[in-house]
Structure 1
Amino acid sequence: MVPSAISILRRIIALSRESSLPSLSSSSTTTHLFRSLKTLTSKPSQYEDNSFHGENQAVASKDDYFAAIHHISNIVRRDFYMERTLNKIQVNVTSELVYRVLRSCGKSGVEAFRFFNWARNQPRYDPTSIEYEELIRILGRTRHWETMWKVAEQMKKQELALTPDTFSLIIESYGKHGLIDQSVEVFNRMKNFNCPQTTEVYNSLLYALCEVKNFEGAYALIRRMVRTGGVPDKRTYAILVNGWCSAGKLKEAQEFLEEMSRKGFNPPVRGRDLLIEGLLNAGYLESAKGLVRKMTKEGFLPDIATFNSLLQAICNSGEVDFCINLLHDVCRLGLCPDTNTYKIMIPAVSKVGRMDEAFRLLHCSIEEGHKPFPSLYGPIIKALCRLGQFDDAYSFFSDMKARGHPPNRPVYTMLIKMCGRGGRFVEAANYLVEMTEVGLPPRLQNFDMVTDGLKNCGNHDLAKRIEQLEISLRGI
């Protein structure tokens, strides 16, 4: 019987690790294994289970498929003799395969271009606009602009349309490197490709202008956009406001928002929220905090997404107490926290040992209908262990499971690690066993830590049982 797809892939990976390059062309056995990849490079939707269709046909799972994509991508990025190695693999080239490999090689412009040219020469494969556009994006990001335009001209000859999204990326790729003249040229060349100048495209040129601090040109572009019938969206306002804020021109940003409002073009979000986000993006945290303080004193509330961005920035700066007080103030004014609010605040207050506040926030989230998933209560367990309150941590962990909120692998792993650091190796062993019972195989490092700890404590019988459990799980 042909070995399963998983065993084939493991053998390939093992062989790959023995060589500095993934060509592995020196062995007939390796060549045979590469050829087996043909079964792994069809669309994953064809393989919904791991059963055998016939005695000699191995069916790959989605994991096998994406592992094969990863392996091919490594060949593209690292193998000097890429084309020769790919020919030996005999891959079934499809549009989806080419697209996914290109996506994986987003930082390797030359190599991605070589792979695309190799794929075009394979039988029964005709590139679609999706693969062409992905390659254009890669070449733009990696500053291979001459090659990028050659690919665009190839698309044009094959009557494949370039979308506004691709032109936007090209314009921004020039803008990020300060090449504003080239950005404007691309904007003007769009009509040669029969591509409309959408709001998205205007936003990209606006971004390029703001990158070089050409705010006069940026505002002139917005006026042209309005004059030609375009409608500014949230990103239009955000780009210009962010640009002004990053240049320290808060007054100009406020005047721009007021002027657009007078002309009837109100932003999709409130102007003050844009200003807060602009200040945060520019690194003016104190100014953003001051603006929110002023808003709350006047009885105004920020948008919840803007408020969460502010909380994250303040927590990252270590001012957790300020965040707690600010959250209390806005809640009194009627702001309803969402799941992201709690995902920011609970880990932050737990990390600084504010356990009463952490439990209060968790209970508030439950009362508001949010399910306490592991990333919410995991930080509380970790903080309790750090404080040496292991019994409270175990009790809280059991309570979460009893309420129907099962932990995931990271929470178990964290708890085992914290038990080990606290010398609680028996409890760590119990959680190792519990993990296996619920179908979450522990990491090898967890087994090593627990068995070594038990032996050092003189508990050799339990250490031996844990070793036997590891052997039974790994089949060694």
Structure 2
Amino acid sequence: MLLSGRLILRLRRNPNTTSTVTLRCLKTITNTIATEHGSNTTGRGGRGVSNDDYFTTIHHVSNIVRRDIYMERTLNKMCISTIVNSELVYRVLRSCCNCGIESFRFFNWARTHHPQYDPTTFEFEELLKTLARTRHWETMWKVAHQMKSRNISISPTVISFIIEHYGKHGLIDQAVELFNRSKNFNCPQTTEIYNSLLFALCEVKNFQGAYALIRRMVRKDAVPDKRTYSILINGWCSAGKMGEAQEFLEEMSRKGFNPPVRGRDLLIDGLLNAGYLESARGLVRKMTKEGFVPDVGTFNSLAEAVSKSGEVDFCIELYHDVCRLGLCPDIKTYKIMITTVSKVGKIDEAFKILHNSIEDGHRPFPSLYAPILKALCRRGQFDDAFSFFSDMKVKGHAPNRPVYTMLIKMCGRGGRFVEAANYLVEMTELNLSPMSRNFDMVTDGLKNCGKHDLAKKIEQLEISLRVSLQKARRSYLKQGNSRDEGNLGLTHESWTERKCQLED
């Protein structure tokens, strides 16, 4: 159930209180779920409950957890005991991932007020991550000891998450302590945990300790992976120590621990992450002159960084060079390159790259051909854009709502209101609801051009669409017998947005 615009505005102005009207609406939702399906409610509020009801309840409970000072009292008034289960608690905790103490209070409320609720590992670990993210370390350790008392082990992923957050805040002693104590929580010291401590050490620029940890890692037979190398290389590159990074790669190679990707690719990634774009460009240029091809992921990162700096010509030249050397571009490569060249008006180059992607077996999707459409419209080549769009509807994936919206907008800017009207009709035939402002722009433009008959048809189309949306809204309201239409406060525009979000 949705709240009216006035009620939402009132909540924003006074987020620490929950109005009587809001609580009544929430109780209507939860009571509908509970009374219709009884105390055997499981999963998403019980079998047969619509997703709208279920997720709306979670949304409002999350708002209460985040904003209400008297959280427990308000939650008790909601009468949601029959639907409190592991999934609901987990979703609320994820939704409140930046509210540490509030999440802890909600978790305790769910456990103490609902004896039927038995928390699982998922809720405990999500709460640990939230408390670590918000730096509530003491409370986090209380929760960890509760898990230990219940014989619930902590996964290496969560241990790694906490160690990395210790490192991000400069608490390296606590990170090392948790690393040493991980076995006490039935968590083995995996490569993932080694990588997290390595990350923490590099965050505080303790490269000597990081290198010692690598040696210990080798002694303990923990095999370094790509992230192990990347963390240390990124740290050295960010500190401007390229020599040390290269020596480390050579030494690890002599010991038989070669990285999963080539050392030069790791160096390029490290330079890009550290912001040394020119050095990364130089290293890639040196590689290509020597006949070596960078990893496709490395090239994508470099192309994206170079395109943001505005050096499109270098990006195009590099793309052709590495393709001649045997690089196999992936779909992300094509998306980066097409978007980059289209923005600067190099349409011929964009078409070449698009045709290359088709030859490689990729079927163009909307975000791949939309930049070319927009570039053609900007140059005033509307006939070419319309012809290209028709081809893509046949040869590529079906256009989505954003593509149609963009095309209608560009047609309006170029004075092509008749074509814009045709695309509006086409959208409705595909069950893609246009925005109200699209209708307004097209009808106003048609009237200014003297196309009054066509403008009238577009207005009638908008009216018929509104009628169908009203019918859908009434059908939606009938799903809950105790719900009141006055509490929904849905305008045509908001209902259209909601319907389109569900479709998209």
Equivalent of 1:72 in 61, 74, 91: 61
Equivalent of 1:108 in 78, 99, 108: 99
Distance 1:75 1:15, change over 3 A: same
Please give the secondary structure, in 2, of the residue aligned with 1:267. coil
Give the conservation status (yes or no) of the 8 Å contact 2:98–2:133. Answer: yes
Equivalent of 1:244 in 233, 236, 243: 236
CA distance in 2, matches of 1:357, 1:151: 57
Distance 1:461 1:86, change over 3 A: farther
1:442-457 aligned at under 5 Å gives the runs 442-457=434-449
1:110-259 aligned at under 5 Å gives the runs 110-121=101-112, 122-259=114-251
Mapped pair 1:90 → 2:79: yes
Please give the secondary structure, in 2, of the residue aligned with 1:19. helix
Give, in angstroms, the shift of residue 36 of structure 1: 4.2
CA distance in 2, matches of 1:80, 1:246: 43
Give the conservation status (yes or no) of the 8 Å contact 2:65–2:103. Answer: yes
Mapped pair 1:263 → 2:255: yes
Mapped pair 1:33 → 2:28: yes
Deviates more, 1:76-85 or 1:454-463: 454-463
CA distance in 2, matches of 1:416, 1:329: 38
Equivalent of 1:342 in 334, 348, 352: 334
Distance 1:402 1:301, change over 3 A: same
Give the conservation status (yes or no) of the 8 Å contact 1:425–1:453. Answer: yes
Give the conservation status (yes or no) of the 8 Å contact 2:446–2:454. Answer: yes
* Alignment-derived partner of residue 417 in structure 1: 409
CA distance in 2, matches of 1:364, 1:27: 56
CA distance in 1, matches of 2:431, 2:362: 26
- The one-letter code of the counterpart of 2:139 is T
* Alignment-derived partner of residue 272 in structure 1: 264
Give the conservation status (yes or no) of the 8 Å contact 2:363–2:395. Answer: no
Distance 1:453 1:310, change over 3 A: same
Task: Write out per-residue CA displacement over residues 184-206 of structure 1, whole angstroms, 9 at most, x where no aligned residue.
Answer: 11112223223211111111110
Give, in angstroms, the shift of residue 474 of structure 1: 2.6
Structure 2 segments unaligned to the other structure (5+ residues): 471-504
Give the conservation status (yes or no) of the 8 Å contact 1:34–1:90. Answer: no
Q: CA RMSD in A?
A: 2.1
CA distance in 2, matches of 1:321, 1:45: 56
Give the conservation status (yes or no) of the 8 Å contact 1:447–1:467. Answer: yes
1:306-325 aligned at under 5 Å gives the runs 306-325=298-317
Equivalent of 2:370 in 378, 401, 415: 378
Distance 1:46 1:318, change over 3 A: farther
Give, in angstroms, the shift of residue 263 of structure 1: 0.6
Give, in angstroms, the shift of residue 453 of structure 1: 2.8
CA distance in 1, matches of 2:150, 2:162: 20
Give, in angstroms, the shift of residue 332 of structure 1: 0.8
Please give the secondary structure, in 1, of the residue aligned with 2:160. helix
Task: Write out per-residue CA displacement over residues 214-245 of structure 1, whole angstroms, 9 at most, x where no aligned residue.
Answer: 10000001111111121111111000000000
Give, in angstroms, the shift of residue 33 of structure 1: 2.1
Please give the secondary structure, in 1, of the residue aligned with 2:118. coil
Give, in angstroms, the shift of residue 88 of structure 1: 2.8
Give, in angstroms, the shift of residue 307 of structure 1: 1.1
CA distance in 2, matches of 1:156, 1:132: 11
Give the conservation status (yes or no) of the 8 Å contact 1:34–1:88. Answer: no
Distance 1:42 1:443, change over 3 A: farther
CA distance in 1, matches of 2:278, 2:311: 11
* Alignment-derived partner of residue 59 in structure 1: 49
CA distance in 2, matches of 1:255, 1:327: 30
Please give the secondary structure, in 1, of the residue aligned with 2:2. helix
- The one-letter code of the counterpart of 1:365 is S
Distance 1:81 1:448, change over 3 A: farther
Give, in angstroms, the shift of residue 163 of structure 1: 1.4
Please give the secondary structure, in 2, of the residue aligned with 1:127. coil
Distance 1:26 1:394, change over 3 A: closer
1:326-365 aligned at under 5 Å gives the runs 326-365=318-357
CA distance in 1, matches of 2:4, 2:77: 14
Give, in angstroms, the shift of residue 458 of structure 1: 4.0
Structure 1 segments unaligned to the other structure (5+ residues): 1-8, 48-57
Higher relative contact order (CA 8 A, sep 6+): 2
Please give the secondary structure, in 1, of the residue aligned with 2:205. coil
Give the conservation status (yes or no) of the 8 Å contact 1:244–1:250. Answer: yes
